[in-house]
Structures are given as C-alpha cells and as structure tokens.
Amino acid sequence: MPPRNPQVVVDLSNLAWNYRFLGGLTGAETTIGAAVKANAYGLGDKRVAAALYSAGCRNFFAATPDEASNIRPNLGDDATVFALHDACGHPQDMEQMAAAGIVPVVNHLAALEEWRRLASKIGRRIRIAVHLDTGINRLGMPPDEQEILIAEAQGLLNGLEVRLWMSHLACADEFGRDENDAQRDAFAAVLARLPKAPASLCNSSGIFHGKGFHFDLARPGIALYGGNPVPHMPNPMREVVKLISPVLQIRNVDTGMAVGYGATHRVASKGRVATLALGYADGYIRSLSGLGVVNIGGFSAPVIGRISMDLTTVDVTGIPESAAYAGAVATVIGDGISIDSVAAAAGTISYELLTGLGTRVERVYTGGGEQ
C-alpha cells in the first residue's frame, strides 16, 4: 500500500557505511564521532544514534542538554554524549546533566567556574569538554580567556576532568581558504600549552582537509546523513535520506488554466497535473515553487505553481498514466535527486532542508537496525 503521508526513509545501512567511510579517511589514530543535534538533522535522533552506536560510534554531539538526555538512554554506557550548550546559569539542569553523565561543552570561564563549583558541591569529578574558539567568534572560549586558562589551568580545572579540547572551523566546506589553516594552527598552538586531553576540530568537511586537521576525534554530521562534504567534487557519501510523498489526485488541464495560489502558473497546452500530499509545512520549502523537480515512476516531474502548506503541484503531462496516477508515489529527495541539489534550488543548504522536515513526515527506517 502506498503511504498516506509523506515519509522520510532513512537508510541505516548507508548511514553505517558513511560512518565507516569517514573512519577510513582518517585512519585509526582518529576516532569518528557523530553530530546528532536537532533530532539528528531531522532524521530521528534515537534511531540514528542507536544505528551509529551499532556501527561502532561512541561519541555523540547534541546541541542542547535536552537533546543529549533524549538519546543517552538508547546508548551503551561506553558511549559519551556531549551537549554543545552547557546549561550554565541553570544549576538544576547542570546537576541533572552531571547525574546522567552528559558531558557539557564548556564555552567560557564563567561557565567553567560554575561546573567547578558543582563538582565541589557533589564531591566528585565532573567530565567536561572545552570549546576553544580559534576564529569563528560565535560560541567558544575567546583567546583572552584561553590565556587565563593556560596560566591557571590547575586551579581552574580543579574537580573537572577534561574529556576533550575542541574547536570548530568557520570555512570547512570552502577548500583553499586561509582561514582553515589558520584555525588549525591556532588550535595546535593552544593545545600545546594546555594539559593533555584528546582534541577535536573537524566537522564533515574538515575531515577532507587532510591529516593535519584530524586530531583525535572528528565530529561529522551532514556527511553521515549523505550530504556532500566536498561541494567542489562529486559526493563521495552514500544516500541516506529519501523523501517521498503520495500523489493525492491527477487533474487534466487545458491551455490558459492557472494552477495553485496566486495563479502564478499558466498552462501552455493540454496536460496533466499531479497534486502531492506534501507542502512547506513538511519542509518542502516554498522557495521551491516553480523550481523543484520530483520523480514519479522514473520520470521527472517539475513543480509548477506555488507550493502551499500541505500540497505541491507537479506537471506530469509527459508521464504515462500507468506511472502517474492517484496513489502513486513521488520521490522528492533521493533516487538521483540529491539533497544538495534540492537545497541549492531552494536557495539554502542541505542542513536547513533536513532539519526543516516537518513533524507530519513519518520517519521510516530501512537497511538493518530495524527495531
């Protein structure tokens, strides 16, 4: 039976393949972790994290403490779950994180002090990561605070166990930009002056900059989910995400008729229009109006007219009725329609497209690890 709702079909075996592929690039000296923030880029964090755990992944990066606690119970005790937002200023949440063994990524000295006080209050060491900003000027400890940390490391880290020194690249997906080398060098320089602990710099694209960038742990996200980490080259990753939608209805149209809100599309000659059960509320964003292309039964069908909240209209004039019919399934992402190409057509990036997939889109899992 065709699905009644749009579905995102997540291929867990290709996810695992991508995980292993990245490990092959770095070699054994570097461990591959996973960014599973924002519900694992919209794909369902519990299932994605569990599948990655089965593939050997032991280091997971969530954004918020809530995201971290959501996946923590699904993973073995040998997994480490980091929260990039460290909950400082919220003592109860910090205490809960410590109790659950979630590792906060501490971003500035005042937060470090809060964690130190908590460790002293509960009378045991707390594991933390520290984000050292090397040039993105967003989240992370600024250089002046890094100097203080270096000078007073023993006192400032009292009661704390640094599990990871990390930094984050601003321009990782742009190869040949000086900022990347500058950040790598700055990171290596500050590490040399700090107490020894594992270090992590790379997101997905960062891994492709080569050995000097790898350090001990990498934190890929988008590449695991099949996005292209090397935009200037063919995508080396396997496809993980497929977005499909049922066709609700087929309409015959004739010259001069308009399709959709605002009558932005005028039919040029006799033809057929398929209406999909998918709209911008599902994450098929409105800027794809007149620009998107879907696949129905192996045929290309361009989006015509405006994408509305729950519906999208596509031209199926050239497609045989045996392929394009009410109840047929349209592939919106996948089967040769890459997330990167859809994102580019929409004027955005694959990350925004995936994390924007709506709650109405059913998450379905294939390729092993089904539970």
Task: Give the active site residues.
Answer: 37, 261
**What's the CA gap between 296 and 354, in Å, rounded?**
21
Interface pick for ligand PLP out of 15, 16, 22, 35 (rule CB under 6 A): 35
Closest CA to 215 of 178, 188, 194: 188
Task: Using the minimum distance from each CB to ligand PLP, give the nearer residue, 294 or 354.
Answer: 354
84 binds ligand PLP, rule: CB under 6 A: yes
**What's the CA gap between 150 and 161, in Å, rounded?**
15
Binding mask 262-281 for ligand PLP (x = CB under 6 A): --------------------
We find the least distance from the C-beta atom of residue 17 to ligand PLP, in angstroms, to be 16
Q: Which residues of 225-250 are buried (b: 16+ CB within 10 A; e: fewer)?
A: bbbbbbeeeebebebbbbbbbbbeeb
We find the least distance from the C-beta atom of residue 144 to ligand PLP, in angstroms, to be 21
204 binds ligand PLP, rule: CB under 6 A: yes
Which residues in the 149-168 window bind ligand PLP by CB under 6 A?
168
Q: Is 193 helix (H, G, I), strand (E, B) or coil?
A: coil
Closest CA to 305 of 289, 291, 293: 289
CA atoms within 13 A on the CB side of 35: 23
Q: Which residues on adjacent β-strands are paired with residue 218?
A: 32
- The residue whose Cβ lies closest to ligand PLP is 221
Binding mask 42-81 for ligand PLP (x = CB under 6 A): ----------------------------------------
We find the least distance from the C-beta atom of residue 120 to ligand PLP, in angstroms, to be 28
203 binds ligand PLP, rule: CB under 6 A: yes
We find the least distance from the C-beta atom of residue 121 to ligand PLP, in angstroms, to be 28
Alpha helices per DSSP H over the chain:
12-26, 37-41, 45-54, 65-71, 91-100, 109-122, 143-151, 153-156, 178-192, 204-207, 339-345, 350-355
Which residues in the 209-238 window bind ligand PLP by CB under 6 A?
219-223
184 binds ligand PLP, rule: CB under 6 A: no
Task: Using the minimum distance from each CB to ligand PLP, give the nearer residue, 59 or 275.
Answer: 59
CA atoms within 13 A on the CB side of 48: 33
Binding-residue total with ligand PLP (CB under 6 A): 11
**Which residues sit at the interface with ligand PLP, rule CB under 6 A?**
35, 37, 84, 168, 203-204, 219-223
